[in-house]
Chains A and B, each alone.
Chain A
């Protein structure tokens, strides 16, 4: 479901949340990534890899894109990509 290319599973941790279930304004540490090769490559090229801390800024209504902040960069991600980013909430 995530773009072209084969599905890749990087690492998966049991009871973590994905980005879509994080509340707006909450931060989380990335503990797993799954999705198409292109989406994963691009996420990591932006520094959103395992261990990165991201903050969820907002989410559009009805499974629309999700905006996250990593450092000083804001990125808008489609719902499907956000679903593949597993996080552990911080604080």
Chain B
């Protein structure tokens, strides 16, 4: 099997090409650093078996972050004797800058082909590249492609058999930056013509979103309209479509089905007890109700907007605007991208911290990811239940979380000395997302959510039933009754909820419904359940990303912040009588 490695600068569309060639779904978005891990896929072309590896983008053969290191490793592993090939992916609208890495790759002496990606965009951006001239100058096959619509991809795969080491003999001096850029200047001068063209609408928009006044203004507009959109679409889907479907069609059907179940244990696992969809606690009743009726609509609405912003290229510009605020926390603006991903799910957010440079930055960012806001399923449940108390209660939950996260980060920042590195990122051109690609990405996210949510709820209910039968729950409830009452002002029934909350965070909030909490108690309980521990999936991701020791440190820190923060909230509510 021949091993093919995609190498190139960040955000040149490597992952998109990977998806096109292997027909799998690698995560793609319009910002530098979307890919932090290796994607490996296989394909067969003309009876030959290929392995395709897609790694993080790099600017040079020198690595600074963990993501850089994994990209350099796969390039180093390309073995010419075993038919290995480097596919150097270049953003055709940015030829000059991309050739820096190309010359370095050529100097490795490995067989290569060059892929001029985003070819369809060159025309309206006033870039004309003479492909035969470039082939001659580099001594390598050069294939124009457009991974966004898939054109040229077949030709690229066919050209793999023509891969060869470039005959360009680069003296060691050629790798000295100044000489290298002079050489690139000569190549570009011969193979590329730039036309002067007027600024297009998207370029004006880009300038506006970076302007000292326009930037914060557009960030505020984007934020508010995202919240409003997610709320109204999510709420509309719940109230107008899914809730009626559940109560009129699905619930009667399941109730009839349950009556025919012979085995009581099975029926309590599947449909639970009683008819309240939140209180009954069966996989087919509460499980479906939480996952499908209460969470899915918000999940869908959030990723609809977020996916658009990602593919459009807004996130790095928002990072520029937020840079100043993140500096107060000892970070720079690029950390805002993992934090924003964490509004959806903590797992990809934690993984994306690999694009950050230092250990310190990663720890600070991880604390922010885990603390600044709950994941989307939990957020949906807080909104669904909290709105029964009124919008102020919901706002109080999120404001408290933000305050606790800021204070904790300030504390970590003071403890972990050292300067944070500086903001440094390329700003990709705005691109209007392609509908098909966009829909597939949304579909994949929803599928991943379902792959986890229903099995986890089933496991959770099983675990709770077993612990209940063994008397463990009664024991824990008795043990934490005093401290929970004194510190948080919550009833002892919170004990089983804490256990389930480790498995599914959204379900833990749902379990608060039958407790009849006051609005103040609901805020304290939501804040506590959002913080006290990451869910099991995030827990293992954290262990893998930062090692057991440092994972335990972060988890203990977050737990301490949860106890302190929610006790303080309880105190505030007790004093002001909420």
Contacts and interface: CB of A to CB of B under 8 A. Distances in A.
Interface of A: 1-4, 36, 38-39, 41-42, 44-47, 49-52, 57-65, 67, 70-81
Nearest to A64: B324
A71 B422 contact: no
Contacts of A80: 422
Contact of B424 (A39, A61, A62, A73): A39
A55 B94 CA distance: 16
Interface in B88-144: 93-94, 96-97, 100-101, 125, 127
Nearest to B216: A61
B177 A44 contact: yes
Interface string B178-190: 1001001000000
A46 B100 contact: yes
B360 to A, nearest CB: 9
B320 interface: yes
Contact of A41 (B60, B181, B423, B427): B60
7 contacts: A3-B358, A3-B421, A39-B422, A41-B62, A42-B64, A60-B321, A64-B212
A70 B94 CA distance: 10
B212 A59 contact: yes
Interface in B398-425: 419, 421-425
B188 to A, nearest CB: 9
B542 to A, nearest CB: 23
A36 to B, nearest CB: 8
Contact of A4 (B101, B212, B324, B358): B358
B277 to A, nearest CB: 48
Nearest to B212: A61
Contact of A75 (B181, B213, B321, B426): B426
Contacts of B421: 2-4, 36, 38-39
Contacts of A1: 419
Contact of B59 (A46, A57, A62): A46
A72 to B, nearest CB: 5
B326 to A, nearest CB: 11
A64 B323 contact: yes
Contacts of B181: 47, 49, 51-52
B73 interface: no
A58 B210 contact: yes
B320 A64 contact: yes
B320 A42 contact: no
B207 interface: yes
A38 B357 contact: yes
A85 B499 CA distance: 54
B401 to A, nearest CB: 26
Which 6 interchain pairs have the tightest Cβ spacing? A78-B422, A3-B421, A45-B59, A78-B423, A45-B60, A74-B427
Contacts of A3: 357-358, 419, 421-422
A78 B100 contact: no
B520 interface: no
B323 A58 contact: no
Contacts of B64: 38, 41-42
B66 to A, nearest CB: 14
B419 A77 contact: no
Given A74-B427, A78-B323, A47 B60 contact: no
A73 to B, nearest CB: 5
Contact of B94 (A62, A64, A72): A72
A76 B59 contact: no
Contacts, number: 124
Contacts of A72: 93-94, 96-97, 125, 127, 194
A83 to B, nearest CB: 10
Given A58-B211, A65-B333, A47 B320 contact: no
A27 to B, nearest CB: 15
B101 A76 contact: no
Contact of A74 (B211, B419, B426): B426
B338 interface: no
Given A46-B100, A47-B97, A58-B211, A65 B427 contact: no
B342 interface: no
B178 A51 contact: yes
Nearest to A5: B64
Contact of B97 (A36, A59, A63, A71): A71
Given A50-B178, A58-B210, A75 B422 contact: no
B55 interface: no
Contacts of B323: 60, 64-65, 78
Nearest to A4: B358
Contacts of B320: 60, 64-65, 67, 76
Nearest to B184: A47
A1 to B, nearest CB: 6
Contacts of B272: none
Given A38-B64, A42-B59, A45-B62, 10 more contacts: A3-B421, A39-B421, A57-B210, A58-B212, A65-B320, A72-B194, A75-B426, A76-B320, A76-B426, A77-B424
Contacts of A47: 96-97, 100, 181, 184
Contacts of A67: 210, 320, 427
B332 interface: yes
A49 B320 CA distance: 23
Interface string B56-78: 00011010100000000000000
A75 B206 CA distance: 12
Given A45-B100, A49-B178, A76 B424 contact: yes
Interface string B269-313: 000000000000000000000000000000000000000000000
A60 B424 contact: no
